[in-house]
Amino acid sequence: MFYELRSLKQLMSTNAFINFLSKLPGLKILSFKKLYKNTGLKKILSVFGFLFELIKETIIPSIFTALIFWRLFVRLGIDNISVKLLSYILIAVIASKISKPTFLIHNEDDYIFLNLFSINSRVYYLNKIFSNIVISILANFPAIYYVFQDLGIALKLSVLNLASMILVNMIYLTYIKKRETLPKSEIRALISALFVILGGLVIFLRIDLNLNDRILNILAIVSAVISIFGIAFILRYKNYPALKRITANSSGQVVKMSVTTTINEDSSQYLVSDAEEIQNFQNKYKDVDPAKYIDMAFFSRYKKVFKKNLRSNFSGSIAILIIYSIAIKIGIIKKPQSFSDISGLAIAFAVGTGYSAALLQMCFRNVDRILLKNKILTEQGLYESLKYRIRMLIKASFFDLLSVGLGFLILIFLNGLKFEPVEFARIMAAYLAMMASMGLVEIMVYYIFSPYSAELNVKSPAYKVVRFISGLVFALFILKNANILNIEKYIYIAFGVTVLIFLFAKKYFIRTFRLRY
Supply the pLDDT for residue 127.
82
Identify the pLDDT of residue 267.
Answer: 41
**Could you tell me if 517 and 377 are in contact, meaning their C-beta atoms sit under 8 angstroms apart?**
no
The tens digit of pLDDT for each residue in 264-284 reads 444 434 444 555 666 677 777
Q: How far apart, in whole angstroms, are the C-alpha atoms of residue 399 and residue 394?
A: 9
- For residue 347, give the amino acid letter: I
Which DSSP letter does residue 290 get?
H
In angstroms, the first-to-last Cα distance of the chain is: 39
Mean pLDDT of 233-246: 84
The amino acid at residue 187 is I
Q: How far apart are CA 73 and CA 77, in angstroms?
A: 6
List all residues 6 or more positions away from 279 whose beta carbon is below 8 Å from its beta carbon.
none
More confident residue, 248 or 512: 512
Residues 461-487: pLDDT tens digits? 666 677 667 666 666 665 555 677 777
**Would you state the torsion angle of the CA atoms of residues 425, 429, 432, 434, taken in this order, to the nearest 10 degrees?**
-130
- What does the alpha-carbon distance between residue 362 and residue 456 come to, in Å, rounded to a whole number? 9
Give the three-state DSSP class for 29.
coil
This model's pTM is above 0.75: no
Print burial letters for 381-420: b (CB count within 10 Å at least 16), e (below 16).
bbbbbbebbeebbeebbebbbebbbebbeebbeebebeee
pLDDT band, very low/low/confident/very high, at 362 (cuts 50, 70, 90): confident
Phi and psi angles of residue 119, each rounded to the nearest 5 degrees, phi first:
-70, 140
| Interatomic CA distance for residues 429 and 417, integer angstroms | 20
472 strand-pairing partners: none
pLDDT at 258: 33
C-alpha 165/C-alpha 171 separation (Å) is 10
**pLDDT score, position 49:** 58
pLDDT at 88 over 80: yes
Residue 263 has pLDDT above 50, yes or no: no
The residue ranges of DSSP E strands in 115-170, in sequence order, are none
Which of 85-94, 177-186, 210-219, 291-300 shows the lowest per-residue confidence on average (mean pLDDT)? 291-300
Specify the amino acid at residue 206: R
Neighbours of 287 (CB within 10 A): 6
Q: What is the distance, to the nearest Å, from the Cα of residue 39 to the centroid of all Cα atoms in its chain?
A: 34
CA R_g for the chain: 26
- Phi and psi, residue 302, nearest 5°: -100, 15
Query: Is residue 18 helix, strand or coil?
Result: helix
Is residue 162 within 8 Å of 226, Cβ to Cβ?
A: no
Which parts of 343-429 are beta strand (E)? Answer: none
pLDDT winner (highest mean) among 15-24, 239-248, 252-261, 312-321 = 239-248
If DSSP codes are grouped into helix, strand and coil, which group holds residue 397?
Answer: helix
Query: With the C-alpha atoms ordered 373, 378, 383, 388, is the resulting torsion angle positive or negative?
Result: negative
Residue-wise pLDDT tens digits, 20-62? 555 554 444 444 455 545 556 656 566 665 666 666 666 666 6
126-140, 290-304, 345-359: least confidently modelled range: 345-359
Measure the CA angle with vertex 201, ends 197 and 202; round to 5°.
115
**Residue that wins the pLDDT comparison between 154 and 388:** 154
Q: Is residue 112 scored above 60 in pLDDT?
A: yes
The predicted structure's pLDDT at residue 231? 92
